[in-house]
């Protein structure tokens, strides 16, 4: 193995002995504004210029990762061959930003190796023009003949790589006619990358192929295979990738003149960038409650800058705060992908309820744009996608009701739809005005609220009045504000106990409940009638009587302006009153009345009694009823 004398900046320099070569690698991060290599031999110190490199068997290049590589043949100029080893003294000279040069000396030492009589190298610095497809280029041949080292220039085919589907293809004649004398004994070929030969097993594992077809050796390396490097680009706004690999190929043969010729080729192969759309994978599992998508697979030169969901751009640092998760998923081969997780109910996720024969379902849509950067030049590209998930998780608004003595309590459960609802009580929209004027009381919780509607207030409608009570209802409807569609209707009915009540129906009909227990001693409801004594109660219990009559009957008097009046009086069933003026019930009078609007539409009107005059005195002149509700 190599020994190197400089231990400073460990990790930035790497020295190795690889098949027939010294390798010195300088990390890309260490390279200054300008840099060079000098070698030191018996004839002094020489700078490795392009020309000297070509003559002396050096190669200087930037590899696919941007590292500087010096490759020196064991037979290169200034290599000192001693017993058991070869040494090469190299200086890496780095010019810093302040123009000061710093030199780093390395004594490269590699063990002596079985060396074939003739060594041919097809190096990349021989291709003087790095753009033109040169079929034949000049090469340098080192060979040793009877312990003497010779060096000649020759020409040989050193092919450039081409693309063959998803493979990079490089081909070379199995026999190189200019280098062959007489009959040939093929002694095999091996390949590798980065100056290192690979075992057949590794070659197969990486998907490389080496085949001989019509005397031509074809080496195929799949795009992206291990051993090479993928680079990212933006081409015409699209994400693109190129692939490069430093191919190493060694061919050996014997011929009439040479028992063994070893021909080495170092070929940097690369593809031109081609569009490569990142793949979005939908990993969403509805039961897990969130969208889960990955975008990838990216080589290390790609990094995510931010994600835009709906219209909000979220920098990665702020994602967690907004309830989103963005994670980088590394893969063992050095690539990575990004995982984005967004809960379904997140405000940035749109929801739409859809009708389906099997019921309603909700379509959640995540519209996302990933903004990514390519290092080192920070080129930007984006990837947009829309992912949907349909869930049967719709909870519609729901109304519940119950009756209390004097109110109806309606509870509205909001459900989970992302809809703005309008709630109507009868024809009245539930708004602050209605709550105030209707005397409603409101109690709100997170996902429901309760409205208490008092009897006779706005929004309540009346269906029937009997001695069982006043049957009233509140019809609640829930409308989608946007579409106007009625999502729910609900009717709560309650029967409220009443002692006394007067109802004027729009069809000139009146229904009245009177309480005769107000009179002392109590009056038997069987002994009362309207102005027309034949109009007696339709229903009775021990203390109350119910009259129901048309306003053109039962002695009703029509006054001016659609005012109708009548009266409940004491009217014993069997006998006339013997001494009427002294009879305790003689003065019992209960005035009744209805007034309809002169030009308006008639609606049901309901009147609650005030404190009833315990009339043994003259009937009072005013209507004792207080209007309770116009409905």
Binding site for ligand NAG (CB under 6 A): 224, 282, 284, 286, 297, 305-306, 313, 315, 331, 333, 335, 371, 373, 380, 387-390, 598-600
Give the separation between CA 194 and CA 176, rounded to whole angstroms.
Answer: 23
Indicate the residue among 89 and 387 with the shorter CB distance to ligand NAG: 387
Q: How far is the CB of 382 from ligand NAG (least distance, A)?
A: 9
Considering only CA atoms, which of 478, 485, 459, 481 is closest in space to residue 398?
478
Q: How far is the CB of 240 from ligand NAG (least distance, A)?
A: 15
Q: How far is the CB of 598 from ligand NAG (least distance, A)?
A: 5
Give the separation between CA 67 and CA 90, rounded to whole angstroms.
Answer: 17
18, 19, 23, 27 alpha-carbon torsion, rounded to 10°: -60
- Measured distance between the N- and C-terminal CA atoms of the chain, rounded to whole angstroms: 104
Indicate the residue among 578 and 600 with the shorter CB distance to ligand NAG: 600
Q: How far is the CB of 21 from ligand NAG (least distance, A)?
A: 27
Indicate the residue among 286 and 469 with the shorter CB distance to ligand NAG: 286
Indicate the residue among 164 and 443 with the shorter CB distance to ligand NAG: 164
- Rounded alpha-carbon distances, angstroms, from residue 171 to 216, 218, 582: 6, 4, 138
Indicate the residue among 305 and 471 with the shorter CB distance to ligand NAG: 305
Q: How far is the CB of 521 from ligand NAG (least distance, A)?
A: 47
Q: How far is the CB of 297 from ligand NAG (least distance, A)?
A: 4
Indicate the residue among 275 and 315 with the shorter CB distance to ligand NAG: 315
Give the separation between CA 238 and CA 261, rounded to whole angstroms.
Answer: 48
Q: How far is the CB of 319 from ligand NAG (least distance, A)?
A: 12
Indicate the residue among 42 and 378 with the shorter CB distance to ligand NAG: 378
Indicate the residue among 319 and 476 with the shorter CB distance to ligand NAG: 319
Indicate the residue among 181 and 427 with the shorter CB distance to ligand NAG: 427
Considering only CA atoms, which of 335, 330, 334, 329 is closest in space to residue 294?
329
Strands 261-270, 118-122: pairing kind: parallel
Q: How far is the CB of 137 from ligand NAG (least distance, A)?
A: 31
Tokens of 130: 């790095």
Tokens of 331: 């893969």
Alpha helix segments (H runs only) across 169-288: 200-205
Give the separation between CA 39 and CA 85, rounded to whole angstroms.
Answer: 18
Contacts of 16 (CB under 8 A, 6+ apart): 1, 2, 22, 23, 25
The torsion angles phi and psi of 126, rounded to 5 degrees, stand at: -90, -20
Q: How far is the CB of 371 from ligand NAG (least distance, A)?
A: 4
Give the separation between CA 371 and CA 314, rounded to whole angstroms.
Answer: 10
Considering only CA atoms, which of 217, 195, 194, 198 is closest in space to residue 207?
198
Q: How far is the CB of 289 from ligand NAG (least distance, A)?
A: 12
434 strand-pairing partners: none
- Rounded alpha-carbon distances, angstroms, from residue 84 to 41, 77, 532: 18, 18, 144
| Percent of the chain that is helix, strand, coil (3-state, to 5) | 5, 55, 40
Indicate the residue among 20 and 227 with the shorter CB distance to ligand NAG: 227
């Amino acid at each position: 193995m190599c020994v190197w004398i400089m231990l400073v900046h460990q990790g930035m320099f790497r020295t190795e002995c690889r098949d027939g070569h010294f390798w010195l690698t300088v990390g890309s991060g260490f390279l200054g504004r300008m840099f060079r290599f000098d070698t030191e031999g018996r004839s002094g110190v020489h700078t490795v210029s392009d020309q000297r490199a070509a003559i002396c068997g050096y190669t200087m290049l930037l590899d696919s990762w941007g590292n500087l590589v010096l490759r020196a043949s064991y037979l290169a100029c200034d290599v000192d061959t001693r017993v058991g080893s070869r040494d090469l003294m190299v200086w890496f000279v780095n010019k810093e930003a302040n123009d000061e040069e710093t030199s780093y000396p390395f004594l490269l030492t590699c063990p002596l190796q079985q060396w074939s009589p003739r060594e041919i190298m097809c190096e990349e610095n021989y291709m003087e023009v790095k753009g033109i497809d040169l079929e034949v280029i000049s090469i340098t041949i080192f060979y040793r003949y009877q312990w003497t080292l010779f060096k000649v220039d020759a020409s040989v085919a050193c092919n450039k790589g081409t693309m063959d589907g998803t493979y990079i293809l490089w081909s070379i004649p199995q026999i190189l006619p200019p280098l062959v004398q007489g009959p040939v004994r093929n002694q095999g070929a091996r390949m590798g990358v980065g100056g290192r030969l690979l075992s057949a097993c590794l070659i197969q594992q990486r998907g490389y192929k080496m085949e001989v077809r019509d005397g031509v050796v074809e080496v195929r390396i799949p795009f992206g295979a291990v051993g090479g490097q993928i680079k990212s680009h933006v081409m015409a706004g699209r994400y693109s990738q190129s692939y490069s690999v430093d191919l190493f190929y060694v061919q050996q043969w014997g011929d009439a003149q040479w028992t063994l010729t070893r021909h080495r080729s170092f070929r940097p192969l690369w593809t031109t960038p081609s569009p490569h759309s990142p793949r979005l994978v939908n990993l969403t599992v509805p039961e897990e409650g969130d969208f889960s998508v990955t975008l990838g697979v990216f080589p290390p030169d790609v990094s995510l800058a931010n994600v835009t969901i709906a219209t909000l751009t979220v920098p990665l640092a702020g994602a967690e705060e907004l309830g989103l998760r963005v994670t980088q998923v590394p893969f063992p081969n050095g690539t990575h992908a990004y995982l984005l997780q967004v809960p379904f109910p997140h405000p940035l996720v749109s929801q739409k309820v859809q009708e389906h024969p099997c019921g309603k379902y909700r379509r959640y849509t995540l519209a996302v744009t990933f903004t990514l950067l390519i290092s080192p030049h920070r080129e930007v590209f984006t990837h947009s996608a829309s992912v949907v998930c349909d869930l049967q998780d719709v909870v519609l608004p729901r109304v519940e009701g119950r009756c209390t003595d004097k109110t109806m309590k309606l509870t509205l459960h909001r459900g989970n739809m992302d809809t703005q609802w309008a709630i109507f009580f009868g024809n009245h929209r539930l708004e602050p005005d209605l709550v105030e004027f209707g005397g409603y009381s409101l109690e709100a919780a997170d996902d429901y609220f309760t409205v208490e509607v008092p009897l006779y207030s706005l929004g309540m409608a009346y269906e029937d009045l009997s001695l069982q009570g006043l049957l009233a209802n509140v019809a609640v409807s829930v409308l989608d504000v946007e579409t106007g569609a009625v999502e729910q209707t609900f009717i709560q009915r309650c029967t409220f106990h009443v002692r006394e009540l007067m109802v004027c129906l729009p069809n000139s009909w009146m229904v009245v409940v009177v309480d005769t227990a107000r009179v002392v001693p109590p009056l038997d409801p069987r002994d009362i009638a309207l102005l027309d004594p034949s109009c007696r109660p339709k229903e009775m219990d021990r203390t109350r009587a119910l009259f129901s009559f048309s306003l053109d009957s039962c002695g009703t008097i029509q006054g001016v302006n659609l005012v109708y009046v009548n009266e409940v009086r004491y009217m014993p069933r069997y006998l006339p009153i013997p001494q009427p003026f002294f009879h305790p019930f003689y003065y019992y009078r209960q005035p009744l009345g209805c007034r309809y609007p002169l030009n308006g539409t008639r609606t049901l009107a309901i009147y609650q009694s005030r404190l009833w005059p315990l009339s043994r005195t003259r009937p009072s002149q005013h209507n004792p009823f207080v209007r309770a509700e116009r409905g």
